[in-house]
Structure 1
Amino acid sequence: MDDMNDNEAKKAIMDMLLEMQGTVKGIGADVKDIHTDVKDIHADIKETRASFKEHTENMKARYAKIHAILDRIQENNEAIDNSIDSIDNSLDSIGNKLKEI
């Protein structure tokens, strides 16, 4: 009868060990899934970061173009101001000559 109890105890221990082995395998599978998820998230972050960097570079290029256009507008405004000053001087000169006549 003691042998039977020993056999039952051994069987119970083996059953517990098999159950623990299944649990450990399940945990291992969960860890692998989590690892895969983390790798996917990391890849997504890397892709988003690259996209953001590209967007930032595009915005910098657009800003540079806008800045260049504003510089040209400023130059044109200065040229227009100079032309207006020249026309004013010419009109003053014409006015003075007309007064002499």
Structure 2
Amino acid sequence: MTDFTTRDGSVWMPEYLVSIDGATCIGCGRCYKVCSRDVMHLHGVDDEGEILGKCEEGEDEDFDGELNRMIMVVDQAGNCIGCGACARVCPKNCQTHVAADKVAA
């Protein structure tokens, strides 16, 4: 096991974001706004719950009228540093984080 520490030597265990529950996520974007690592992005979802694709920032994408709602999707999991900022701002508690010592490399 790797020992993780803060600058002052305190023991710390990063918890990496591994998934977001699309059924619970409301697509508010709070997690995206606090993440400095580009780990997640808004994606469009149709009436059947199928993910239509990434919603590009600044574009008003409606996916040819198929867009029902938007959810946040972890699409760059390897960028996560395990800071937990996203979990602290999520109003729906829809994220799953795993301790660094439990994540496969």
Q: TM-score, normalization: structure 1?
A: 0.13
Q: Which structure is higher in strand share?
A: 2
The structure whose RCO (Cα within 8 Å, separation 6+) is larger is 2
